[in-house]
Amino acid sequence: MFIVNSYLLAVIFCFITMLCWGSWGNTQKLTSSHWRYELFYWDYVIGMVLFALLLAFTMGSIGSEGRPFVEDLSQAESSNILSIILGGVIFNASNILLSASVSLAGLAVAFPLGVGLALVLGVLNTYMVAPKGDPVLLFAGVALIVIAIICNGVASSRVKRSDNTSSNGKGIVLAILAGVLMSFFYRFVAVAMDLDNFAQPAVGKLTPYSAIFIFTVGVLISNFLFNTIIMRHPFVGDKVSYKEYFSGKLSTHLVGVLGGCIWCLGTAFSYIAAGKAGAAVSYALGQGAPMIAAIWGVFIWKEFKGAKRTTLLLSMMFVFFIAGLGLIIISGGN
């Protein structure tokens, strides 16, 4: 299988993770005018699984190092498989709650609060499971990214909204729940992989390629429960049916599948890079995704158009973001 053997390449993979995690939401935005989120989410999950299989039988099955995908999957201990499936279930629950929070409270509350909590708690969780790098520099970098996320949230709150009732207690509670849940999913994945030696992984442990496949299966299985409930009892709007899903245009379905592929590429690269960069560094760099989403929002979707006194806040956001990433990168090299 393909293995990252240099820290620089691991950091590049982490940046690709950040770009993918911060960009897949564009596919949802492209379909939002005529396609409910609950329906989009099915295509998104299908895209995850298909792309995970593609990676498994290509990058995960070539090269002389490590175990190829099928061999790795067949020797994995059931406890490790279940751990990764649990991680997928937790992630799926958190992702659905976060999206519901966006629809109720808006991006200004949902992303800074939900993803901010996930970043802080998640780095702490993954560092406890697989400590690697200088903790002072690592957590200083995390703190700067949190400040950047806060700047983003304050700037977003100054955007004029047509629906002022969206900022409510339910949205805040959902964002908090999403952030707490999201902070825990990665540790269940990290503990099931031999992060110290992908070239000769321990017996029973999993490599990144089998891990991402099992993870997406966990997401898919749990989606039959979680998304079905959300479709029948949505947090906002009327309920939707599976009949509506199957009546959707092929082009609309393909956009959702593309979103899942983009997310899966980023997540797979995060797992692959974790062996060299460390789980905490890999997770922290990936969770800078809200800033990438902010770049899309500011410069492409013009979400801050008409907002007052946001130039300084947005400038501070990008400065703190870049500085935080720099400290996280340096921490992994020590």
Tell me what pLDDT residue 162 has: 47
* Domain locations along the chain: 7-332
Of 239, 262, 257, 214, nearest to 41 (Cα)? 257
Q: Name 7's Cβ contacts closer than 8 Å, sequence gap at least 6.
A: 276, 277, 332, 333
Of 333, 330, 328, nearest to 141 (Cα)? 328
Of 235, 294, 230, 232, nearest to 103 (Cα)? 235
Tell me what pLDDT residue 103 has: 66
Tell me what pLDDT residue 165 has: 47
Place of tokens 């201990």: 77
In angstroms, rounded to a whole number, what is the distance separating the alpha carbons of residues 282 and 21?
13
In angstroms, rounded to a whole number, what is the distance separating the alpha carbons of residues 136 and 328?
10
Q: Is residue 182 a contact partner of residue 122, using CB atoms and an 8 Å limit?
A: yes
> What letter represents residue 31's amino acid?
T
Rg (the chain; Cα; Å):
19
Q: Is residue 49 a contact partner of residue 263, using CB atoms and an 8 Å limit?
A: no
Q: Name 249's Cβ contacts closer than 8 Å, sequence gap at least 6.
A: none
Phi, psi of 29, deg, nearest 5: -65, -35
Q: Is residue 99 a contact partner of residue 37, using CB atoms and an 8 Å limit?
A: yes
pTM metric for this prediction: 0.87
* Tens digit of each residue's pLDDT, the chain (334 residues): 999 989 899 989 999 998 998 888 888 888 888 998 899 999 999 999 999 999 999 999 998 889 999 999 999 999 999 999 999 999 999 988 887 777 676 555 576 677 778 877 877 777 777 787 788 998 898 889 888 888 877 877 776 554 444 445 777 788 889 989 988 898 899 899 988 889 899 999 999 999 999 999 999 999 999 999 999 998 878 999 999 999 999 999 999 999 999 999 999 999 999 888 877 778 777 777 777 877 887 788 776 676 678 889 888 988 998 898 888 878 876 6
What DSSP letter does each residue of 38-80 carry, written as one string? Answer: HHHHHHHHHHHHHHHHHHHTTGGG-SSSS--HHHHHHH--HHH
Of 69, 46, 35, 78, nearest to 224 (Cα)? 46
Q: Name 41's Cβ contacts closer than 8 Å, sequence gap at least 6.
A: 96, 99, 223, 227, 256
Query: Which two three-digit tokens encode residue 40?
Result: 């989009």
In angstroms, rounded to a whole number, what is the distance separating the alpha carbons of residues 7 and 51?
25
Place of tokens 């560092």: 127
Tell me what pLDDT residue 51 has: 98
Q: What angle, rounded to 10 degrees, do the helices at 279-286 and 7-23 form?
A: 40
Q: Name 164's Cβ contacts closer than 8 Å, sequence gap at least 6.
A: none
For residue 34, give the DSSP letter: T
Neighbours of 66 (CB within 10 A): 22
Longest CA–CA span in the chain (Å) reads 58
pLDDT tens, residue by residue, 266-288: 999 999 998 888 777 787 777 77
In angstroms, rounded to a whole number, what is the distance separating the alpha carbons of residues 255 and 268?
20
CA dihedral 289, 295, 260, 149 (to 10 degrees): 30
Tell me what pLDDT residue 295 has: 80
In angstroms, rounded to a whole number, what is the distance separating the alpha carbons of residues 330 and 333?
5
